[in-house]
Amino acid sequence: MPQIIKGATSPGGARATDDRVRETVAGVISDIRARGDEAVRAYSEKFDNWSPASFRLTADEIHRIMSGVPDTTLDDIRTVQSNVREFARAQRESIGDFELETMPGVFLGQRNIPVSAAGAYVPGGRYPLVASAHMTIVTAKVAGVERTVACTPPIKGEIPAATVAAMSLAGADEIYLLGGVQAVAAMAVGTETIGRVDLLAGPGNAYVAEAKRQLFGEVGIDLFAGPTEILVIADEHADPFVAAVDLLSQAEHGPDSPAVLVTTSEQVARRTLAHIDALLPTMSTQDYAGPAWRDHGQVIVVGDLDEAYAVADGFASEHVQVLTRHPREALERMSQYGALFLGEGTCVSYGDKVIGTNHTLPTRGAARYTGGLWVGKYLKTVTYQEVVNTGSSAELGELCGRAARVEFFEGHARSGDVRAAKYAGADLPWAPDAYRAGSA
């Protein structure tokens, strides 16, 4: 049985808080549906103290903003976006259109068509998540999305210049300095000045996540996102200091971010705990990382790596980092995770910021049934069919008639009957006499 060295002390957010968020979001969305731009402006003033003449940035404004961003930052953005673009292109090339002939003259095919318009939400708030621009916009453009709309909030009344630069370099067609539920709702339902999109992508706080949940169906979304998660699998060869640093790297996302260590070594477990205790007071983000570790951090000691993989799969964590002698073994042994980070030379922060894979990943156990944001999320996989051989159509018609009547779908059956009659002379006992006589 696993030994719990440190357990989580909080089960998560309270139901009352969830209800408040839900009601607030529903009210904002309803108001924006009714009043459009007027409501968007009112909420931007209320929540962000931001009410420019136009929320959309012009090309000249974008150029001016980017001119104030250090060259090193711009170069880094270009490098990271190149990594993201290369991986996304490989994903796109892995998705093929095809057509096959299943019977003589019966052609079935598949096409992958980009959505026409996608909305990318890039959070601001305390942390300007510049990397989210790469993950949402670059991936959309590689998929072939014609119109990509990007929104990010001002930060304490200031324009997040690096984020705007990242949006522009990623290829956003429209950039709005607009945040929160008002941004997500405006993109989803449309206003007088913001055209609606077909799909929303990008992370955000609890209000943004709830807005996406309520709007899902009216538009597509990437994921139902929750707090960032990390789970580290470590054997006796793992460096406890590295494990501690990497656990805290994700805990700083927010006070409700789970960080879990599953290890085969009690010594590694206890030394990792000691390092965390020493490191936390030195972190500038300790006001987030501290509560996250206190309330949601866990350290679990297991008997062997087989048990470690099983425990990790049970969590279905967003990020799983494998600090073992043979990390690639996890590729064959695990199946429930958002992304794997194999070996000490790799870390979750690389995936979050620079390496090229997408950082928008499933949380709260969603890795049991989905992966993360990828180029395929922006594609609609559709099918087509064509029957040009009359004999095959007649054969399918007879089959359709029998199959449909088993389900009591007489109308469906008759569509098949007509073709069996027209192409192979089958009887139509239900048809008017005039048609059966050939006079219709």
Annotated catalytic sites, by residue?
A: 318-319
Tokens of 78: 């270009």
Cα–Cα distance, 395 to 150 (Å, whole number)? 52
Cα–Cα distance, 283 to 105 (Å, whole number)? 68
3-state secondary structure of 378: helix
* Angle, helix 206-215 to helix 15-35, in steps of 10 degrees: 60
Cα–Cα distance, 263 to 247 (Å, whole number)? 13
CA distances from 373 to 175, 184, 273, 356, 365 (A): 21, 17, 33, 12, 16
Cα–Cα distance, 388 to 119 (Å, whole number)? 41
Cα–Cα distance, 119 to 197 (Å, whole number)? 6
Q: For residue 349, which amino acid is it? A: S
Cα–Cα distance, 440 to 435 (Å, whole number)? 5
> Which class for 271: exposed (0-12), middle (13-18), buried (19 or more C-beta within 10 A)?
middle
- The backbone torsions φ and ψ at residue 362, rounded to the nearest 5 degrees and listed phi first, read -70, 140
Cα–Cα distance, 314 to 309 (Å, whole number)? 9
**Location of structure tokens 């976006």:** 81
DSSP 325: S
Tokens of 93: 């090339």
Closest C-alpha among 200, 178, 189 to residue 26: 189
CA 351-217-412 angle, to 5 degrees, is 125
